[in-house]
Amino acid sequence: MSATKRLSEFEELAFKHADQLFRVALRLVRNRAKAEDLVQETYFQAWKSFHRFESGTNLRAWLFKIMFNSHYTDLRRNKFEMVPVEETIAETLAYDPPTPQHLTEEEVLAALERLPREFQLPVILADIEELSYNEIAEVMQIPKGTVMSRLHRGRKILRMELVNYARSYGLKVAEQ
Amino acid sequence: MQVMDCRNFKEVLDSYISDELSVETNHAVLRHAELCAGCRGEMAARRNLRSTLRGAVTATTAPPDFRNRLRERLREEATVQATPISAKRDGFFSNWFRNLAVPQFAMATALLVLVAIGVVYLFSNSSPAYAAELSPALLNQATSDHDGCASIWRTRLFTENDPVHDAEKFDPTLLDLGKYSEHQALGLTFHYAHLCGHHGRKYVHLVYSRNNDLVSLFVAERDAAAMKSGTVPTDDGLQHGLQQFQNVQDKFTVSAYQTSKHVVLVVSTFTAQQNNEIAEKLAKPISLHLRKIESKN
Ligand SMILES: [Zn+2]
Ligand SMILES: [Zn+2]
């Protein structure tokens, strides 16, 4: 296959994930120009190793993995290296009130923004971008158990924020 | 046969929606939902929350011309890849001539790339190591103490209504530092101050929280080990303003102010922007206070 034809094939398959990658990149670098750079770099890297990509496997998860890897490399180069700290088991918050109904996009977005970054990314990857827990573990380079505990806690914190919000505005929260 | 109560149901509900449960647990969820109206309602509410969340976030898309820029760059790279190495190494003019043969847009991109490479080259060669950059050792220590020391108190902080008063057991001048931070402005609660000491370094550790999240403030000595360069700059530190560091796993954000003798660090799992806002209210006033003390000595 000619290089141009292969490139067209790559573009056809990979470009449809650009919006998803861009959204997550924005969470990683928090600046539109930098996010665009990161996604461009991701596609560039992906294209370079496209010959190694096995058709039939999940291209989207593969692109995410390249993006996180590239981001981690940038951080390692520019910032400081972390000694891995053993993950503490997320404590179960005993109180789990019912999830409020009729929430607006603004309300849930505000709650998402307040979520600590550690929990925000897994929640975005699972609940918005619909990656599987295994894929998230691979993409973020953390154990699946860690993904699950962060998701569990992140989703709970998010709901609690929304419950508190609903209460403060007198919205109906069904009591059990 | 697995029996599921309302509590178990809620615990696994999100994984059910994500289709991450085993076949048996899936069945148990469905059976429980059939019998329990309350949990059916919760299932609907969580699905709703998820789709609202998705709607809100997916409204953000890549810039309109993003794909075109990307396509141009990739096509340019494909051309370069197809060129023998010797031609690539011939430098600017051979590239220039080669590019005359390709369409206009690719040529423009090539020029831009060359300019960009030039800029990067210039910076990487001429900019000295940022003299006031903090050492990885100090940053690692601050984040691991935040994770270790402060988290030990987590359970107590969030299960007892009474704030922890252990600060009183420590040097009263340390307690004093907490007075200068404007934590109330951000809805933070000040819990305690103590002298923390690990790995041969001693520093003041102040612990704050907001909702479920802890914030640590450390006041460390600005010594050689605290600086990446290994030498203490002669400036008063404040000119560097707010510095921000992110760790590799994206777990912690560190924001710092420096004075001539101290480094004031704020560590949390908040976003960089939030952590910076917090540092402005906590670390900045404390660093200004420290500067006053230092200038008297
Ligand atoms: Zn039930
Ligand atoms: Zn401590």
Q: Which of A81, A116, A152 is closest, CB to CB, to B213?
A: A116
Closest partner residue to B144 (CB to CB) among A4, A83, A98 is: A83
CA B11 to chain centroid: 28
In this predicted structure, what is the pLDDT of residue B3? 79
Interface of A with B in 124-163 (CB under 8 A): 124, 126-128, 130, 132-133, 142, 148, 151-152, 155, 157-162
CB-count exposure of residue A114 (10 Å: 0-12, 13-18, 19+): middle
Measured between alpha carbons, how far is B102 from A127 in angstroms, rounded to an integer? 44
Domain that holds residue A58: 3-77
The answer, as to whether pTM is greater than 0.90, is: no
Cβ B134 vs Cβ B224: under 8 Å: no
Contact B249, B278 (CB under 8 A): no
State residue A82's pLDDT score. 34
What's the DSSP call for residue A128?
I
The number of distinct structural domains making up chain A is: 2
The yes-or-no verdict on residue A61 having pLDDT over 80 is yes
Q: Work out the burial of residue B65: count CB atoms within 10 Å of its CB; fewer than 13 is exposed, 13-18 middle, 19 or more buried.
A: exposed
B108 in any annotated domain: no
**Is residue A130 located within the same domain as residue A163?**
yes
Within a domain: B168: yes
The pair of structure tokens assigned to B198 is: 């690990």
Put simply, whether B289 touches A (Cβ < 8 Å) is no
The pLDDT confidence band at residue A39, using thresholds 50, 70 and 90, is: very high
Whole-number pLDDT of residue A128: 95
Query: Would the CB atoms of B71 and A80 count as touching at under 8 Å?
Result: no
Q: Does A25 touch chain B (CB under 8 A)?
A: no
Identify whether residues B48 and B188 lie together within a single domain: no
Q: Using CB atoms within 10 Å of the CB of residue B239, give its burial: 0 to 12 exposed, 13 to 18 middle, 19+ buried.
A: exposed
Confidence check on the interface: ipTM exceeds 0.90, yes or no: no
Q: What's A111's domain CATH number?
A: 1.10.10.10
Q: B176 CB near a chain A CB, below 8 Å?
A: no
Number of domains into which chain B is organized: 2
> Which residues in chain B are closer than 8 Å to A171, comparing Cβ atoms?
none
Residue B234: phi and psi, rounded to 5, are: -85, -5
Provide the β-strand partners of residue A80: B247
Q: How many residues does chain A have?
A: 176
d(CA A128, CA A111): 14
Neighbours of B289 (CB within 10 A): 17
Which of A116, A132, A176 is opposite residue B269, by nearest beta carbon? A116
Does residue B189 lie within any of the structural domains? Answer: yes
Distance of CA B229 to the CA centre of its chain: 23
Q: Which of A77, A108, A133 is the last residue of a domain?
A: A77
DSSP B189: E
CA of B8 to the centre of ligand 1 (A): 9
| B176 sits in which H/E element | helix B172-180
CB contact under 8 A, B56 and A109: yes
Do B40 and B143 belong to one domain? no
Identify the nearest ligand to the CA of B214 by its number: 2
A79/B247 touch (CB, cutoff 8 Å), yes or no? yes
Q: Which domain holds residue B188?
A: 136-296
Q: Hey, is B195 helix, strand or coil?
A: strand
Within chain B, strands assigned E span 189-198, 201-210, 213-221, 243-246, 253-258, 262-268
CA dist A74 and A40 (Å) reads 14
Q: Which pLDDT belongs to residue B79? A: 64
B231 CB within 8 Å of a chain A CB: no
| Pair of tokens at residue B137 | 């050792």
Instruction: Please state, as a whole number, how many other Cβ atoms lie within 10 Å of the Cβ of residue B242.
Output: 17
Average pLDDT over residues A156-161: 90
Residues of B in contact with A133 (CB under 8 A): 15, 18, 20
Q: Cβ of A80 and B140 within 8 Å?
A: yes
Distance CA B294, CA B290 (A): 6
Q: Taking each helix axis from N to C terminus, what angle separates A105-114 and A144-168, rounded to the nearest 10 degrees?
A: 130
Closest-CA residue to B134 (of B4, B223, B249): B223
**Domain's final residue, options A17, A47, A77:** A77
- Residue of B61, B73, B247 lying closest to A82 (CB–CB): B247
| pLDDT tens digits in sequence order for chain B, 297 residues long | 567 999 999 999 999 999 999 999 999 999 999 999 999 999 999 999 999 999 999 988 888 888 898 888 888 776 654 433 333 333 333 333 333 333 444 444 444 444 444 333 333 322 333 677 888 888 888 887 787 677 665 555 444 433 334 444 444 555 578 788 888 888 898 877 777 766 667 788 888 888 878 899 999 889 998 998 888 888 888 777 888 887 665 578 889 999 988 999 999 988 877 888 899 999 999 998 888 888 776
B6's tokens: 């309302």
**Selected residues 43-62 of chain A with any CB under 8 Å from a CB in chain B:** 43-44, 47-48
**CATH value at residue B256:** 3.30.200.100
Residue B87 located in a structural domain = no
Triad B224, B214, B185: Cα angle to 5°: 95
**Is the domain of A106 the same as that of A140?**
yes
Give every CB contact of residue B115 below 8 A, 6+ residues apart in sequence: none
Instruction: Report the C-alpha gap between B230 and B137 in whole angstroms.
Output: 11
